[in-house]
């Protein structure tokens, strides 16, 4: 059974001639989350946004929630959902160019659905041993993508390789071919 994702609804209606808006944030107990810390951080942002919206009053009729508030809340819910499937962030790892000529450099790019909230040190591994790459790279806060360089060795035959980046429970891999000269 697939795990539910957090959802946000805005319900508009009228009661005795008065316009009504309700915001409903539905987060199931076993919803998809990368980590509890990620959930708590986004939840805090949601609570702040709701409190800010509830603090504005229009014409004495009660709290006013603007379309911008709703857009901001939807963005925060999208960030919760982007934290991934089954507890893993949906990441991509690409290698360019592919194939890589012997002794040439290539660029590895890690891409996430949203910018990282803090600096993250990602461990780098590859198989087989036909590449030279840093053992770890730092993905800076505030960036949704990050790149680093790898260098191909000169294998005895054209060789299919896998490059893997990992941070905590998150792992992403990409493949390339290193050409023999």
Domains in the chain, CATH or no CATH each: 7-82 (no CATH), 92-178 (2.60.40.10)
The model's pTM: 0.53
68, 73, 76, 77 alpha-carbon torsion, rounded to 10°: -140
Q: Which residues contact 160 (CB under 8 A, 6 or more apart)?
A: 175, 176, 177
Say whether pLDDT at 71 is over 60.
yes
Residue that wins the pLDDT comparison between 23 and 103: 103
Q: Which of 17-26, 127-136, 163-172 has the highest mean pLDDT?
A: 127-136
Residue 60 confidence (pLDDT): 44
> Is-cis flag, bond preceding 128, omega within 30?
yes
H/E stretch holding 8: strand 7-15
pLDDT of residue 82: 52
Question: Mean of the per-residue pLDDT values for the chain?
Answer: 74
Distance linking the first and last C-alpha atoms of the chain: 50
Mean pLDDT of 30-51: 61
């Amino acid at each position: 059974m697939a795990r539910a994702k957090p959802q946000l609804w805005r319900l508009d209606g009228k009661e005795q001639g008065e316009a009504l808006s309700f915001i409903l944030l539905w987060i199931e107990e076993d919803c998809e989350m990368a980590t509890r810390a990620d959930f708590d951080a986004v939840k805090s942002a949601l609570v702040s946004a709701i409190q800010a919206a509830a603090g504005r009053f229009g014409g004495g009729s009660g709290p006013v929630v603007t379309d911008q508030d709703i857009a901001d809340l939807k963005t925060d819910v999208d960030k919760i959902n982007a934290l991934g499937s089954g507890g893993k962030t949906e990441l991509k790892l690409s290698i360019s160019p592919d194939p890589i000529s012997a002794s040439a450099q290539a660029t590895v790019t890690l891409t996430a659905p949203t910018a990282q909230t803090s600096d993250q040190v990602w461990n780098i591994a590859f198989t087989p041993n036909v590449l030279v790459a840093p053992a770890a790279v730092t993905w800076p806060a505030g960036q949704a993508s990050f790149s680093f360089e790898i260098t191909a060795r000169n294998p005895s035959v054209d060789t299919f390789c896998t490059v893997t980046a990992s941070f905590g429970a998150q792992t992403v891999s990409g493949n390339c071919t290193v050409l023999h000269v």
